[in-house]
Structure 1
């Protein structure tokens, strides 16, 4: 089912009900974040876009180190963490709301929530590259290991984007 009309959308914080968001995530993601959430919830905040009926999209903004970082994220993310960049993880759009710009709306809402903040994130699917680039993120690193491809993106609050060398 594709919902064509969205009358009302709200960015909401899920402080005490993380499972509401976790349940819409792919099973692999649930297994990644669920077991460690209790230990990292003070460092992360779940934001969702919802209408009156359900969550349409959501993600987690981590103000410090995200959990379960890969070696690529540890090595390449350290300078951005040191500069106070927030990490965006687990961005997911519900199947009924895909191709309706919900991911872009979520990112825009987060940028508006933190107007002076810069962000970093990683992707494991190159097909997502265009999505993040059209939302103002710049690719600053690419893993050299073909068995575990990853790309790191940054969004700077001044919109210029740069690569830390």
Structure 2
């Protein structure tokens, strides 16, 4: 199996520390943002895909869920400050947030099957797939709030180029740490 975290963190305490460190990385990625409306552009998707790819699908998804639980508890772990606590899961970003554990699981699943930094094109494809999943699910939720045309115009199209760039950066990062 690919995941270095799974090999290094056999004990529950080490896995808990790994999840805690991952939530810290995810939180930091939330604060690197470009203001957009109604959904901010952040480095969250880059971090979510990397967490999945590095930790594997189970621990990666668990890390993202822990981060989202911290958000639901009202901790300042997400981008923006207009919604806190459970309210973030009914606002315009809810679909994207709820897609994050699935993104981590997808990239982790693919990494465990060899889509890693040792195969950069497959790693890039994995990251693109994760970002695409997030955009589709997030836009679907946003369309419930603002209508499909506006959701695509505001919640998908502006993020396509950024998703490709972040996917390339994530694949390059995986290649660098895979050495």
The structure whose RCO (Cα within 8 Å, separation 6+) is larger is 2
TM-score of the two chains, using structure 2 as the length reference = 0.27
Structure having the larger proportion of residues in strand: 1
Structure having the larger proportion of residues in helix: 2
